[in-house]
Amino acid sequence: MKLKPTSEQIKQIERTMGVCRYVYNLFIAANRDNYRDGTRSYMSGYDFSKWLNNDYRNANPGKSWIWEVSSKAVKKAVMNEDTAYKSFMKGRAGFPKFKRRNGRPVSMYLPRNNAGDLKIERHRAKLPTLGWVRFKEYGYVPCDGQALSVTVTRRAGRYFASFVFETVKATQAQPAKSEGIGIDLGIKSFAVVSDGRKYPNINHTDRMRRLKKRLKREQRKFSRKLRHRKEVTAARKTRSNLDKQRLKVQRAYMRMSNKRRDYLKKAVHEITSIQPEFITIEDLDVSGMMKNRHLSRAISECELWYFRELLERKCAVYGIQLRIAERFYASSKTCSRCGHVKKDLKLSDREYICPECGLVMDRDMNAAINLRECVKYRTAGQAGRG
C-alpha cells in the first residue's frame, strides 16, 4: 500500500531507516572482525543486542541517536542480519553485504504493542511511532481485520506499507470447472497454455521499448553528472543534482518493474479463473539459466520466479493442484502424439517436426501438451525452487 506521509513523518521514517542501516552494518563488521581476530566465530543477534545496549552504548556516548528511534525496528534489522549470516554459515547464501546509503534501504518494522497502536481505516492507518498516515490509494487493505505488524519500505523516493493480518479462513478445494492444463514458459512467448492460449513477452512490446530508451537516457545523464562531479574541485562538489538524477533512474526502473508485474498478475488471474483440475509447469533452473551471458538479461526481465510465486498463491486460493514436472523432463524434445524423443532439437527450431509420425506443431505448444500429460511430477509444496 502506497503511503502519503507528511514531512515530519518522512523525517522520522528516514531517521529510523538510517539507524537500522547503521546497526545492520555494525553487526556485519563486528562478526567480520571477530572472525578475523579469531576471538569468536559468530556473535548471534541476541548477543549483539546485549553488546550494543551495554558495552557499545557506554563506550560511545555520542551515538545516543541510536536509541532515539523505535527499538523494535532496530531489533528487527539485527535479527534479519542474523538470519542472513546463518544462511551464509549453512552454505545457502553468500556473505552478508553492507547496506549502502544510496542503495536499497533497510525496512522499518513496526509491531502492534497495544490494542490501539495499529488501526486501519478506509483512507488512512495509525502506525506505531508515526501516528495517522494517509494512503495514496484506498480499498486494498481490509478495515475489519486485525493487523499484527506493518513494515514500511522506501522505493524510488516513495513509501509503501505491508501489513500482516491475523485471519482464520480455511481454504476448501472447489470442484474443477475444466480439465488440467500445462504451461510452457519461455522468452519469445512468455507462456503457452495447452488449451491454445498464448501470452506474449511484454518486454518485446513497444511500450517497454520506449521505457528502456527512457532508462538509457536517464542513465547517461547520471553518468555525465557523476563524471563531472569527480572532475570539479572539492570546494565545488555538490550532491543535489546527482541525487535527483539517481532518483529519476530508480523511478524508471520501478516503472518497468511495475509494468511487468502487473502483466504477470493479469496473466495468472486469467489462467486460474477457469479453475482447471490441475496446472503443470516446469521446474526451471533459473540460476543455471542465468549463467548464459547471451540470455541472462532476457531471462531476468521475464521474472519467471515471480510468475511461479503468483501461481502458487492463486492455486492455493482456488484449491487447484499445482504440479511441478521433473527438471530434466524433455517436454520440448518429446512428440506429443507418438512420444518420440528428438534429441537433435535446437533452440532455433521454432516448429517441432516429428520424424516418426510426421507431426508438425509449434514447439512451445507441443511442450505445453507434454506437460499436461506428464506423470512424473511433484506438488508445489514438495518441489524446491530453481
Domain end call among 169, 197, 213: 169
- Residue 22 pLDDT level (bands cut at 50, 70, 90): very high
117-121: list long-range contacts, CB under 8 Å, 24+ apart.
118/147, 118/148, 118/149, 118/150, 120/145, 120/147, 120/163
Residues 372 and 286 in one domain: yes
**Same-domain status, 293 and 340:** yes
Question: By the 8 A CB rule, do 275 and 318 touch?
Answer: yes
Domain count for the chain: 2
385 falls within a domain? no
Residues 187 and 335 occupy one common structural domain: yes
Q: Which of 169, 190, 216 is the last residue of a domain?
A: 169
Residue 316 belongs to a domain: yes
Residues 64 and 200 placed together within one structural domain of the fold: no
Phi-psi group of 250: left, alpha or beta (phi > 0 → left; psi -120 to 50 → alpha; rest → beta)? alpha
Same domain, 161 and 301: no
| Residue 175, domain member (yes or no) | no
Tell me how far apart the alpha carbons of residues 14 and 318 are, in angstroms, rounded to a whole number. 40
pLDDT number for residue 234:
58
Give me the domain span that covers residue 148.
Answer: 1-169
Helix count and strand count (H, E) for the chain: 10, 15
Task: Tell me the sheet residues that pair with 334.
Answer: 341
Judge if 164 and 22 occupy the same domain. yes
**Residue 386 pLDDT exceeds 60:** no
Any domain includes 384: no
Query: Quick one: 161 and 230 in the same domain?
Result: no
Provide, rounded to the nearest whole percent, the portion of the chain with pLDDT above 90.
Answer: 40
pLDDT in tens, 172-203: 556 667 789 999 998 888 999 998 899 999 99
- Looking at 169, 192, 210, which one is the last position of a domain? 169
| Separation CA 328–CA 326 (nearest Å) | 6
Helix (H) or strand (E) holding 71: helix 71-89
Q: Are residues 134 and 218 in the same domain?
A: no
Q: Do residues 134 and 124 lie in contact, with contact meaning Cβ atoms separated by under 8 Å? A: yes
Quick one: DSSP state of residue 348? T
What is the C-alpha separation between 385 and 311, in angstroms, rounded? 13
Is there a single domain that holds both residue 17 and residue 163?
A: yes
pLDDT tens digits for range 128-170:
889 999 998 887 887 777 888 999 999 988 999 999 887 765 5
386 found inside a domain: no
Q: What is the pTM of this model?
A: 0.81
Asked if the structure places residue 176 within a domain, the reply is no
Same domain as 165, residue 195: no
142 lies in the same domain as 38: yes
Residues 19 and 108 in one domain: yes
